[in-house]
Amino acid sequence: MSKIIGIGNALVDIIVNIQEDELLQRFALKKGGMEMIDHQTKRDLHKAIGGMKQVTASGGSTANTIHGLARLGVETGFIGKISQDHAGSFFSSDLRNSKINDHLIYTDTDTGIATTLMTDDAERTFATYLGAAAMMTPEEIKKEIFQDYHYILVEGYLIFNRDLILKVCQYAKEHGLKIAMDMASYNLVELNRDFIKMLLEEYVDIIFANEEEAKAFTGKEEYEALGELAKYCEVAVVKIGYRGSLASVHGQVTTIAPQPANCIDTNGAGDIYAAGFLYGLMNGLPIEKTGELASLLSARLVETTGAKLSDEQWKEVRGKI
């Protein structure tokens, strides 16, 4: 069976439900977006939410997807950077408990924390302190790691570290890995369009985007945006929220219907969708079955708080594969 490794920001997620947008305005956070914050802002924000109910979990976009693939029975690995602090210990223990091969790098800088602020309309706003995650360098990536895998998932948020993402893609191509990437956030796409275009042209085989990210990159809507992305990658996926998703696999376009769900939290839905879709690709499933699995995973996830499914939900999903 094919094996996959992910590289991305090793973060601990702290998820908080807020009643009003005032907190977003106070910290200049654009609703529905992702903002990078410094250490002091992280401290101030966590002081402001200190009395609110919180859910803590290991996170980071790619780590979430890799966790999903591991639960589906795929052999997985993860590259990221953490500190030997409480948050770092939490993150590394979760990898081991999930049977994910640990390729972690350590530093003295605090482990990154992603704070997710959920409003009543199920919209999520990210305030991310990258900390140790931002300290990864190309020199720390060991080339020999790649020889043990067939696919790699490169986190779109690594766009901040261009030398790193280029080195990883070069190593992956040298070892014949298929490269998958998620566009991560529409504001990152707007700021880095030319660099992303180069990555798609030269390295990326599988691209995931939501409709906002696809429009930010192509200037077009849905099907037309999918067509543009498919010019670069053999597999392109555009997620269109509650209406489902669109996929182009080697030029074959498929409309993937959404699965019914009672949405309470969209956090991580795109990440686990990618887990289902990649599982289908790696196991040669028909595109219809691949899309059905991806949609089922995301539908079950939005019915719970946080970016991970419960054991009972995983049991249900595996029974339908």
pLDDT of 321 strictly over 80: no
Looking up residue 184, the CATH number of its domain turns out to be 3.40.1190.20
Overall average pLDDT of the 67-82 stretch? 96
Q: 172 pLDDT exceeds 90?
A: yes
Interatomic CA distance for residues 123 and 140, integer angstroms: 36
Contact 206/229 with Cβ under 8 angstroms?
Answer: no
User: Residue 30 falls within a domain, yes or no?
Assistant: no
37 assigned to some structural domain: no
CA distance 275 to 269: 10
Higher-pLDDT residue of 139 and 308 is 139
| pTM beyond cutoff 0.95 | no
What is the C-alpha to C-alpha distance for residues 45 and 40, in angstroms, rounded to an integer?
9
The verdict on residue 19 lying in a domain is no
Rounded mean pLDDT of 190-210?
Answer: 96
Asked if the structure places residue 63 within a domain, the reply is no
Q: Do the beta carbons of residue 117 and residue 45 sit within 8 Å?
A: no
Q: Would residue 252 count as lying in a domain? A: yes
DSSP collapsed to 3 states, 285-316: CCHHHHHHHHHHHHHHHCCCCCCCCCHHHHHH
Flag whether pLDDT at 307 surpasses 80. no
Closest CA to 298 of 237, 226, 230, 253: 237
Residue 38: inside a domain: no
| Structural domain boundaries, residue 180 | 4-8+68-112+131-318
Q: Is residue 55 part of a domain?
A: no
Specify the number of domains making up the chain: 1
Helix 162-174 and helix 193-202: axis angle, to 10°?
Answer: 10
Residue with tokens 């409003």: 119
In a domain, 202, yes or no: yes
